[in-house]
């Protein structure tokens, strides 16, 4: 990952914790397992991809491996989205998985040689600016919507803060992964 190592380690921590929480939630109905499994894969995959290149140089094995894993996850999410109650969530997983494929493919043309200079100095942007921008807009809108679901405006207006439960923790995990995806796209 490009950018300062501190940002990389913060993303690793955030995404790994989110992925582990999702792994712990996989018990239950089949539909929930599919959605939660996709969340776990995204969180843990984002954690591995965010490891600073000074610690783990993922070239040449990383981009093809991430491309295959997340390409398959994206296709699976598209197939699961047909005729299910969680269609929007599966479509979001497909967008996220294909964004991971895009970032993995962009890693191959990154800063060249794996050396980012002193303290994460500026680098030539990888990827296509238009596609990167579109993905950033998508995830920014997703983050705002997830935040709105996390903190209901009615409860705040009434002066009551709801006690978080499982649904809120799940939304918080999805919110953190959306923020992580935005951060990863910014450092692309």
pLDDT of residue 61: 87
The more confidently predicted of residues 109 and 135 is: 135
Among residues of the chain, what percentage have pLDDT more than 90?
A: 31
For residues 157-168, give the mean pLDDT: 58
Under a CB-based contact definition with an 8 Å cutoff, are residues 49 and 88 in contact? no
50-68 pLDDT, tens per residue?
A: 898 888 888 888 889 999 9
Q: Tally the C-alpha atoms within 13 A of residue 134's C-alpha that lie toward its C-beta.
A: 9
**pLDDT of res. 70:** 94
Extents of the domains making up the chain:
5-186
The strand ranges marked E within 30-85 are none
Q: What is the pTM of this model?
A: 0.79
Helix (H) or strand (E) holding 184: helix 166-186
Section 25-44 average pLDDT? 77
Q: Which residues contact 79 (CB under 8 A, 6 or more apart)?
A: none
How many helices (DSSP H) and strands (DSSP E) are in the chain?
7, 0
């Amino acid at each position: 990952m490009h950018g300062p190592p501190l940002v990389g380690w913060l993303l690793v921590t955030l995404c790994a914790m989110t992925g582990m929480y999702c792994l712990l939630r996989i018990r239950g109905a089949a539909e929930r397992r599919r959605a939660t499994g996709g969340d776990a894969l995204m969180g843990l995959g984002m954690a591995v991809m965010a490891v600073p290149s000074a610690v783990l140089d993922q070239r040449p094995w990383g981009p093809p491996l991430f491309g295959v894993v997340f390409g398959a996850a994206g296709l699976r999410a598209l197939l699961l989205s047909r005729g299910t109650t969680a269609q929007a969530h599966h479509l979001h997983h497909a967008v996220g998985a294909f964004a991971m494929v895009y970032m993995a493919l962009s890693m191959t043309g990154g800063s060249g040689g794996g050396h980012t200079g002193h303290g994460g100095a500026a680098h030539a942007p990888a990827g296509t600016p238009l596609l990167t921008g579109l993905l950033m807009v998508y995830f920014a809108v997703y983050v705002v919507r997830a935040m709105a679901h996390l903190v209901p405006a009615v409860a705040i207006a009434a002066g009551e803060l709801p006690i978080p439960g499982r649904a809120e923790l799940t939304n918080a995990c999805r919110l953190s992964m959306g923020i992580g995806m935005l951060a990863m796209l910014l450092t692309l």
